Amino acid sequence: MDLLQVNDLKTYFFTEAGVVKAVDGITFNVEKGCTVGLVGESGSGKSVTAQSVLRIVPRPGKIIGGKIFFNGEDILSKKEDEMRSYRGKKISLIFQDPTSSLNPVFTIGSQLTEIVSQHKGVKKSDAAEEVIKALSLVRLPDPEEALNRYPHQFSGGMKQRICIARALLLNPELLFADEPTTNLDVTIQAQIINLLMELQKNIGLTLVMITHDMGIVTQMCKCVVVLYAGNVMEIGSIEQIFQMPHPYTEALLKAVPRLDQTRKLVSIPGNIPNLINPPSGCRFHPRCQYAIDRCKDEIPPLIDVGDGHMISCHRWRELNGG
């Protein structure tokens, strides 16, 4: 069953320079209990998609079209106070930078117990118990002792564990992890990835893993949604996207960085387009090695090319022997 359905979502930023079409007609589903990878270069709309689902798009951004269903319920038609009971409780989010997402002036204990007592209306001591449980779940050493410490007393990896514990405090069903390992070194990165995979399995969490890194996707995800310039280019299983990738995914896969290089995927030739005035037709055409005139003129629809493999490309069939 699909826990999350996003249909033709459009989220634009109304800036002085013009309307930034950050998310421009994105459609994908997330099956309950799965880990779905949301991938694409910088600026492709990954974070704005997550913000849209939680309805926390910052100004001057606005969701201007489409539908989002969570457990069959229409998220975009909910009133703001109803929406508050979704954030953290049903859908949660962890960010790239654990340092800036924890408040430096309060202890871990006071920040986390506050969340529990506020939402569950329980006594401080009971809330502390729940926090200790969550910190143990993410295998933070010495969770009781950690309650009295401040964020700066922890390493980056430990801070990210604390952020994961915080995101899971209210037992959400769906967790968006927005590049949670980008700022961590490679060994710590692997530990956080393993932790997320373990949590996903053990507590049946549904996970949307946002990343630039196809290595992480291969390791963690069953299904992948590939975004480019606010559009979905491809949706498929790991096998499908490796065996017969969309031309953009193919370029992303070729750009898998080596461990000794920077972890950002930026080595596809050409620049990421301006989303105020995106390229006509297929948005990838100015950078696509297979582009023909038709690609410039006609927007390729996202179609099922077999077994749920969705592709938006005029030439995919021909390039794949069909």
Three-state SS at 241 = helix
Q: Which parts of 85-198 are beta strand (E)?
A: 91-94, 174-178
Min CB(265)–ligand SF4 separation in Å: 17
Q: Write each residue from 26 to 55 as x if it is in contact with ligand ATP (CB under 6 A), else as -, in one continuous string.
A: --------------x-xxxxxxx-------
Q: Write each residue from 27 to 56 as x if it is in contact with Mg ion (CB under 5 A), else as -, in one continuous string.
A: -------------------xx---------
Is 13 a binder of ligand ATP (CB under 6 A)? Answer: yes
Is 275 a binder of ligand ATP (CB under 6 A)? Answer: yes
Closest CA to 37 of 221, 171, 253, 248: 221
Which is nearer to Mg ion, 47 or 92 (by Cβ)?
47
The answer to whether 232 touches 304, Cβ cutoff 8 Å, is no
Angular region, 71: left φ>0, alpha ψ -120 to 50, beta rest: left
Q: Write each residue from 113 to 152 as x if it is in contact with ligand ATP (CB under 6 A), else as -, in one continuous string.
A: ----------------------------------------
Is 61 a binder of ligand ATP (CB under 6 A)? Answer: yes
The answer to whether 192 touches 167, Cβ cutoff 8 Å, is no
Nearest residue by C-beta to Mg ion? 47
**Among Mg ion, ligand ATP, ligand SF4, none, what binds residue 247 when CB lies within 5 to 8 Å by partner kind?**
ligand SF4
Which is nearer to Mg ion, 47 or 206 (by Cβ)?
47
Is 22 a binder of ligand ATP (CB under 6 A)? Answer: yes
**Among Mg ion, ligand SF4, ligand ATP, none, what binds residue 20 when CB lies within 5 to 8 Å by partner kind?**
ligand ATP
Min CB(320)–ligand SF4 separation in Å: 11
Min CB(240)–ligand SF4 separation in Å: 16
- State the Cα–Cα distance between residues 270 and 151, nearest whole angstrom: 40
Question: Using CB under 6 A as the criterion, which residues of the chain lie in contact with ligand SF4 when the complex forms?
Answer: 247-248, 282, 284-285, 288, 290-291, 295, 300, 313-315
- State the Cα–Cα distance between residues 160 and 180, nearest whole angstrom: 7
Order of strands across the sheet with 303-304? 91-94, 174-178, 206-211, 35-39, 223-228, 231-237, 310-311, 303-304
**Among ligand ATP, Mg ion, ligand SF4, none, what binds residue 161 when CB lies within 5 to 8 Å by partner kind?**
none
Which is nearer to ligand ATP, 17 or 105 (by Cβ)?
17
Q: Which residue in the set 15, 85, 153, 243 belongs to the binding site for ligand ATP (CB under 6 A)?
A: 15
Q: Which helix (H) or strand (E) holds 27?
A: strand 18-31
Q: Which residue in the set 3, 4, 6, 20 belongs to the binding site for ligand ATP (CB under 6 A)?
A: 20
Q: Which residue has the tokens 């794949």?
A: 320
Is 249 a binder of Mg ion (CB under 5 A)? Answer: no
Closest CA to 40 of 215, 214, 218: 214
Q: Around Cβ 162, how many Cβ atoms within 10 Å?
A: 26
As separate numbers, helices (DSSP H) first and strands (DSSP E) second, the chain gives: 13, 12
- State the Cα–Cα distance between residues 160 and 144, nearest whole angstrom: 17
Stretch that binds ligand ATP, among 12-20, 169-177, 283-291, 307-315 (CB under 6 A): 12-20
Crossing angle between the packed helical segments 156-168 and 124-137, to the nearest 10 degrees: 120
Q: Which residues bind ligand ATP (CB under 6 A)?
A: 13, 15, 20, 22, 40, 42-48, 58, 61, 212, 275
Q: Which residues bind Mg ion (CB under 5 A)?
A: 46-47
